[in-house]
């Protein structure tokens, strides 16, 4: 931390001016509400458990609200060239006379709070500098998730066979809900367990449901269908041994995008 301590003159944290008296570990480690995007001609040095140097070039610098700092180039897909993960503190310091003579306008020093790792970014020219409030992210919603597959299969229950009719989705039992309860053409109750990727655990889960449901005289006999986009060979073997039918679901066909019947192969 000695380099940071010696350079508190004119310190900034994520663009906010602070006096030297205000520069404390707590202040530096505090979370900021906005994400800062800077495009600049810069060089980067990483010091600590390893030494790494990025020579002068135009790059995108991202300072996230959680304190992390990432250095991106235009290539390399999503992966940054270098970065510092939180918890860390970023100080924006004034370069010395020699650095100013070489064209350095400002320096970012990012110090990790639990190690000696330090990221030092020399900025020669800032082309863009903005801050954006992103708010709370709702998280990734995967297309083709189990809940969506359940909804689609319920809407197209005849996928399981001609004459199948839906009783209800999320049929509750004493040990949890069965994804779909339906009846086949003969009126026999069918419990359907749906997975994106079917493995042995899913077969075991459906087995427990079947054992319990077959004790109910209003439902028994109940047979099982294990439905998934992909089913592992071990799961198929176990399902067959327990009298459970396996059905591979075609997600695009359920959505009406892919007409399976018109395929040549």
Residue 139 has pLDDT above 90, yes or no: no
Dist. CA 75–CA 73, nearest whole Å: 5
Q: Do domains 2-132 and 146-262 have the same CATH topology?
A: no
pLDDT at 259 over 70: no
* The CATH number of the domain covering residues in 2-132: 2.70.180.20
Percent of the residues in the chain that have a pLDDT greater than 70, as a whole number: 82
Q: Name the pTM for this structure.
A: 0.49
Q: pLDDT digits over 203-255, tens only?
A: 999 999 999 999 999 999 999 999 999 999 999 999 999 999 999 998 888 88
Average pLDDT of the segment spanning 47-62 = 94
pLDDT higher at 263 or 192: 192
Q: What does the pLDDT look like over 15-49, one tens digit per residue?
A: 333 333 333 333 333 444 689 999 999 999 999 88
The residue ranking higher by pLDDT, 115 or 140, is 115
- The H-or-E segment that residue 147 falls in is helix 146-155
Place of tokens 């909804």: 151
Q: What order of strands is seen across the sheet that includes strand 189-198?
A: 165-173, 176-183, 189-198, 222-231, 245-248
CB 86 within 8 A of CB 66: yes
Chain Cα centroid distance, residue 147: 18
Confidence class for position 63, pLDDT limits 50, 70, 90: very high
b/e per residue 58-97 (b: at least 16 CB within 10 A) = ebbbebbbebbbbbbeeeeeeebbbbbebebbbbbbbbee
8 A C-beta contact, residue 96 and residue 6: no
Average pLDDT of 87-106?
94
- pLDDT for 223 equals 97
Give the Cα separation of 62 and 60 in Å (integer): 7
The model's pLDDT over 235-248, given as tens digits with 9 standing for 90+, comes to: 999 999 999 999 99
For residue 84, the model assigns a pLDDT of 93
Q: For all residues of the chain together, what is the average pLDDT?
A: 83
Domain ranges of the chain: 2-132, 146-262
Give me the pLDDT at residue 27, please. 33
Q: How far apart (Å, rounded) are the C-alpha atoms in residues 57 and 3?
A: 24
Residue 100: predicted pLDDT:
96
Length of the chain counted residue by residue: 265
Q: Is the pLDDT of residue 130 over 50?
A: yes
pLDDT (mean) for 142-170: 87
Tell me the pLDDT band of 116, cut-offs 50, 70 and 90: very high
> Is domain 146-262 classified as CATH 3.40.1350.10?
yes
Are the C-beta atoms of 37 and 14 separated by less than 8 Å?
Answer: no
Q: How far is CA 36 from CA 18, 44, 142, 174, in A?
A: 17, 18, 28, 51
């Amino acid at each position: 931390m000695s380099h940071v301590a010696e350079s508190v003159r004119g310190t900034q944290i994520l663009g906010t001016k602070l006096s030297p008296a205000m520069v404390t570990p707590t202040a530096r480690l505090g979370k900021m509400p906005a994400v800062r995007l800077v495009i600049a001609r810069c060089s980067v040095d990483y010091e600590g458990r390893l030494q790494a140097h990025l020579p002068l070039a135009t790059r995108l610098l991202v300072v996230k609200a959680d304190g992390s700092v990432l250095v991106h180039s235009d290539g390399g897909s999503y992966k940054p060239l270098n970065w510092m993960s939180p918890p860390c503190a970023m100080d924006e310091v004034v370069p010395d006379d020699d650095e100013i003579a070489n064209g350095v306008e400002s320096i970012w020093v990012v110090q990790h709070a639990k190690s000696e790792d330090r990221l030092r970014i020399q900025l020669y020219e800032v082309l863009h500098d903005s801050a954006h409030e992103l708010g709370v992210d709702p998280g990734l919603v995967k297309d083709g998730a189990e809940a969506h597959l359940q909804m689609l299969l319920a809407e197209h229950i005849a996928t399981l066979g001609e004459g199948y009719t839906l009783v209800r989705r999320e049929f509750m039992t004493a040990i949890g809900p069965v994804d779909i309860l339906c009846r086949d053409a003969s009126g026999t109750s069918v419990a359907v367990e749906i997975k994106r990727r079917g493995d042995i655990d899913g077969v075991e889960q459906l087995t427990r449901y079947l054992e319990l449901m077959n004790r109910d005289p209003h439902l028994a006999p109940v047979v099982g269908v294990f439905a998934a986009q992909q089913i592992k060979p071990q799961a198929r073997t176990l399902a067959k041994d327990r009298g459970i039918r396996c059905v591979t679901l075609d997600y695009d066909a359920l959505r009406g995008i892919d007409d399976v019947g018109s395929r040549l192969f």
